[in-house]
Amino acid sequence: MKKLRFLTAGESHGKALVGIIEGVPSGLALTVEELHAELRRRKLGFGRGARQKMEDDRCEILSGVRHGRTLGSPIALMIANQDWKNWSDVMQAESYSGEVRRKLEVPRPGHADYVGGRKYRHEDMRNVLERASARETTIRVALGAVARKLLAELGVGIGSRVTRIGSGEDTAPVTTAVEAINAIADASPVRCLGEDAGAAMVREIEAAKKAGDTLGGVFELLVSGLPLGLGSYVHWDRRLEGEIARALMSLNAIKGVEVGLGFHAAATPGSLSHDEFLVSEDRNGLSSPTNRSGGIDGGMTTGQLLVVRAAMKPLATLMSPLRSVKLATGEAAEAHVERSDVCAVPAAAVIGESLLALVLAEAVLEKFGGDSLEELCARWEDWNRAVPPIRKSPLP
Ligand SMILES: Cc1cc2nc3c(=O)[nH]c(=O)nc-3n(C[C@H](O)[C@H](O)[C@H](O)COP(=O)(O)O)c2cc1C
């Protein structure tokens, strides 16, 4: 059984989103403001739709925390949907005899509508859209904020930046400390570190919007302060990059994940793909002059910076709709159109941070255990003293 588990529930225009996270040790200081800080970051980014302005994403802690500290019991969170008041008849749980508004009858290519409708036998594909929507990721960010706080107590920092939107690219390597990346990225309209590259990405989004089109892109996640040895090589389902890829691929619209050199390594010789070992200056452990592996070897963290990238496809709801079919009549029709983002890569990066935090917190608890934070911290410190991480090196 996983040492840290979570579940979410809630429809996009339903009453509320709810989440439960189980396995968080006792004694972790946690405030609702810390959850709100991450939820505000999820709303960032040029190219989002009107929904972001409407939702305040206020989170309520329903259980598992008392007087500002976790109890070790399941933590339940709830975020009310402000838009619910406009959809209460469409989304009500009780049976409804009036005319059903907002039916989804023409599936959007690239969305879950058609396949989900056939699979669950929903004639009205609204039943699919409501749960397939990335609104659900709001509660995952709140749950991820709990995991992030646990990691922060251990000195683990997580940051992200957008490296591509459409054909606009930020190729500059990261020279900033992980702890400082988010302050720079969050101040950019597209969460990009380079100003010129950011301006080019904004222009791309403006052009796509004008054309009724959408854009995807790439974001990069960086994690510092990890110990050597999270994850394992001994069995396939314990390899950490497998867990990371799974979590990121579970994020709506993500189509690719890479660690370190990633796909680039496929076209690079071995002599330029690996991280040579050097004796570290203090002769305690090893150092490496590079970090091409992105901080994972053999499914285990090396203790160097963890570097993960994810590719997001362009969103499926186009204001200039693609060709589709009205299922009830079998006639050709334009795909369903609904309020939508033009580009959500900046938000996806923040959600990616949260999902990575959940995976890493689980890996930490799997390795070190501990019912209380005190117990966990003591085991963490013992390990880092006994087995130092491979010394930090510049990217990549
Ligand atoms: C932050 C975020 C916002 C999104 N916003 C939209 C949107 O406004 N319109 C849309 O069609 N898809 C949006 N998506 C993508 C869909 O949720 C996703 O394409 C859909 O669930 C189908 O899943 P798949 O793309 O993984 O196959 C968004 C995804 C994320 C991560």
pLDDT in tens, 4-23: 999 999 999 999 999 999 99
Q: What's the confidence (pLDDT) of residue 50?
A: 85
Average pLDDT over residues 391-395: 62
Q: What's the confidence (pLDDT) of residue 28?
A: 98
Rounded (5°) CA angle 39-43-49: 145
Distance in Å, CA 134 to ligand 1 centroid = 5
Cβ–ligand 1 distance for 291 under 6 Å, the answer no
Locus of tokens 């009724």: 212
Which homologous superfamily does the CATH classification assign to the domain defined by 5-386?
Chorismate synthase AroC (3.60.150.10)
Greater model confidence, 301 or 393: 301
Tell me the C-alpha distance between 51 and 13, whole Å: 10
* pLDDT of 224 over the 60 cut: yes
Cβ–ligand 1 distance for 300 under 6 Å, the answer no
Full-model pTM: 0.97
Residue 269 near residue 185 (C-beta atoms within 8 A): no
Average pLDDT over residues 238-261: 98
* pLDDT of 128 over the 90 cut: yes
* pLDDT of 187 over the 90 cut: yes
Percentage of the chain surpassing pLDDT 70?
99
Average pLDDT over residues 235-250: 98
Alpha-helical (H) ranges within 5-45 are: 32-42
Cβ–ligand 1 distance for 342 under 6 Å, the answer no
* pLDDT of 139 over the 60 cut: yes
* pLDDT of 130 over the 60 cut: yes
Greater model confidence, 146 or 285: 146
Percentage of the chain surpassing pLDDT 90?
91
Residue nearest to atom 30 of ligand 1 (CA): 134
* pLDDT of 393 over the 70 cut: no
Confidence of residue 294 (pLDDT cuts 50, 70, 90): very high
Distance in Å, CA 340 to ligand 1 centroid = 9
Q: To test the ligand 1 pocket, which listed residue (52, 341, 345, 350) has its Cβ within 8 A of the most ligand atoms? A: 341
Q: What's the confidence (pLDDT) of residue 141?
A: 98
Distance in Å, CA 252 to ligand 1 centroid = 5
Residue 14 near residue 53 (C-beta atoms within 8 A): no
Confidence of residue 49 (pLDDT cuts 50, 70, 90): confident
The end-to-end CA distance of the chain, in Å, is 35
For residue range 79-95, what is the model confidence (pLDDT) as tens digits?
999 999 999 999 999 99
Q: How many CB atoms lie within 10 A of CB 120?
A: 11
Average pLDDT over residues 278-291: 85
Cβ–ligand 1 distance for 262 under 6 Å, the answer no
Domain residue ranges in the chain: 5-386
Residue nearest to atom 12 of ligand 1 (CA): 315
Cβ–ligand 1 distance for 315 under 6 Å, the answer yes
Beta bridge partners of 21: 6, 75
Locus of tokens 């890829």: 245
Q: How many CB atoms lie within 10 A of CB 83?
A: 18
Beta bridge partners of 326: 331
* pLDDT of 282 over the 80 cut: no
Distance in Å, CA 31 to ligand 1 centroid = 30
Q: What's the confidence (pLDDT) of residue 395?
A: 54
Q: What's the confidence (pLDDT) of residue 394?
A: 54
Q: What's the confidence (pLDDT) of residue 380?
A: 98
SS3 368: helix
Tell me the C-alpha distance between 157 and 149, whole Å: 10
How many Å separate Cα 120 from the centre of its chain? 27
Mean pLDDT, all residues of the chain: 96
Locus of tokens 């989170």: 59
Distance in Å, CA 33 to ligand 1 centroid = 27
Residue 305 near residue 295 (C-beta atoms within 8 A): yes
